[in-house]
Amino acid sequence: MRSSEKRATGRLATRTLTDIVGNVRDTHKAVAKRVFGWGPRVTLPVKVIHNPIAAIVYGSIRGGEFALGFTAAEAFAATKDSGVPLGSTLRGNFALSAVNGTLGDELDEQGNPLSIKMAVRRDRVNVGLRPADLAAAFPAATPKLAVFMHGLGGSEDAWHLRSGRRDGESHGSLLASEHGYTPVEVRYNSGLHVAENGRQLAALLDVVVAAWPTEVDEIILLGHSMGGLVIRSACDQADENGWVSTVRHVFYLGTPHTGAPLERGVSRLIERLVKVEEGRPLATFLDKRSVGIKDLHSGSYAPLLDSTKHYAVSASITADPDHPVALLVGDLLVLPASAHGKGHLDFPEHHKHHVGRLTHFGLLNNPAVYDAMSEWLTLKGDHSSSDSTRRNERAPEPAIS
């Protein structure tokens, strides 16, 4: 880890701890205020003693935590600098991406070293965008690109999670070996607005296509969760005569086209908490989540690209997507109706697919999901088996290591 990343990590941890103490203090004060308001004559002696002591205690704790945390951050940063970026290891990449999903907009605004910059990734390293860089990173480059966009708090590593595969294959490796696509995995700061990431993706692909080792004939886009919303936004903002004119297929895996219930639930909770004095500190804390998370409240309003074919894949923890549990929690994060854009987007029935007994993250690397995409890619016309005959397909049992 680099010294700048160590220092930024320590300071972020310090700030988070002091914020938590501050919220606990404010909640304590609100509760005490209500209790002391019940009977001034009885509670006045206690109040006179309680308030100064509470102020001293919380002030000391908060000040001590800040001083200790700041010192620890500087000491941590002073240790040997490996020169290796935090995101170059599996755990480091996971942690960095999770932090960006939660606080990415704030990190970006501050110019924090922990802020992720959108980039093509290969072996957990940012790939340069000069022709020579891309040629070195993709020595077997083909004229067909498969661009992968992860979801909220994720990274390019997410596409390689094991889920029902024993052979180490992934959606990307199979698209390469069976369909001739070169997988291009993109990492981005998922805490930014979806529209901002869409703008950045459109610009990134402009450069990638122009500098690609061979002339690009075809692009397919694959987005998991928020990644699908970013793709829609990028296509909407791209120059219609540029890379977007070569896009032939777009696959949305568990994309909350009409919003995610968890974010809507948090929003409703905050609305209720602010009405009660004791709940306002918690509401303030919850409201600090990134604008990227908040964008999941209603999904994306960017239209589907007219010149290509779009496919929606959903999942549910039950085999039947119409089971009451599936209708309530879906794949635990996104409901099938939202993943299929019900009432909002015009996906043809034969461009929808559902996999039962699978969670949201299982969509990233599951054989049943790949089989559906592969079938769509091999169809010569615009016909497929109906959604009703495919919707109850079950995910294979996960591999046991």
What pLDDT shows up at residue 384? Answer: 44
Among 46-60, 93-107, 235-249, which is the least confidently predicted range? 46-60
In the chain, the amino acid numbered 14 is T
* pLDDT category of residue 49 using cuts at 50, 70 and 90: very low
Cα separation of 185 and 201, whole Å?
12
What pLDDT shows up at residue 238? Answer: 97
In this structure, what token pair is assigned to residue 211? Answer: 């500098």
Nearest CA to 191 out of 92, 96, 257 is that of 96
* Selection from 8-12, 30-34, 66-70, 395-399 with the highest mean pLDDT: 8-12
What pLDDT shows up at residue 301? Answer: 80
Burial class, 132, CB count within 10 angstroms (exposed 0-12 / middle 13-18 / buried 19+): exposed
Q: Is the pLDDT of residue 121 over 80?
A: yes
Q: Is the pLDDT of residue 166 over 80?
A: no
| Residue range 145-162: mean pLDDT, rounded | 94
In this structure, what token pair is assigned to residue 315? Answer: 């999942």
H or E element at residue 136: helix 131-137
Cα separation of 20 and 297, whole Å?
25
Place of tokens 């969670």: 359
* pLDDT category of residue 273 using cuts at 50, 70 and 90: confident
What pLDDT shows up at residue 38? Answer: 53
Could you tell me which residues come within 8 angstroms of residue 290 by beta carbon, excluding any fewer than 6 positions away? 101, 102, 103, 104, 105, 106, 190, 191, 192
- 274 or 293: which leads in pLDDT: 293
What pLDDT shows up at residue 13? Answer: 64
Q: Is the pLDDT of residue 61 over 80?
A: no
Cα separation of 104 and 89, whole Å?
20
H or E element at residue 113: none
Cα separation of 147 and 374, whole Å?
15
Cα separation of 291 and 156, whole Å?
21
What pLDDT shows up at residue 317? Answer: 96
Query: At residue 362, what are phi and psi to the nearest 5 degrees?
Result: -65, -25
Share of the chain above pLDDT 70, in %: 72
Among 40-44, 214-218, 304-308, 349-353, which is the least confidently predicted range? 40-44
Q: 355, 313 in Cβ contact below 8 A? A: yes
What pLDDT shows up at residue 375? Answer: 97
In this structure, what token pair is assigned to residue 314? Answer: 């959903």
Q: What is the mean pLDDT of the chain?
A: 82
User: Tell me, what DSSP letter sits at residue 352?
Assistant: E
The pLDDT tens digits for 167-181 are 789 999 999 999 999
What pLDDT shows up at residue 268? Answer: 80
Q: Is the pLDDT of residue 28 over 50?
A: no
Q: What are the helix (H) ranges across 154-215?
A: 171-179, 194-211
Cα separation of 393 and 390, whole Å?
6
Q: Is the pLDDT of residue 193 over 60?
A: yes
Cα separation of 217 and 158, whole Å?
27
Q: 225, 255 in Cβ contact below 8 A? A: yes
Nearest CA to 233 out of 203, 207, 259, 194 is that of 194
Q: What are the helix (H) ranges across 79-125?
A: 90-110
Q: pTM value?
A: 0.81
What pLDDT shows up at residue 313? Answer: 98
Among 97-101, 204-208, 265-269, 313-317, which is the least confidently predicted range? 265-269
Nearest CA to 356 out of 388, 329, 318 is that of 318
Cα separation of 192 and 136, whole Å?
30
What pLDDT shows up at residue 24? Answer: 54
Cα separation of 69 and 64, whole Å?
8
Q: Is the pLDDT of residue 59 over 60?
A: no
> Measured in whole angstroms, how far is the alpha carbon of residue 174 from the centre of its chain?
23
The pLDDT tens digits for 286-341 are 677 899 999 999 887 899 999 999 999 999 999 998 999 999 999 999 999 999 99
- Tell me the sheet residues that pair with 219: 145, 247
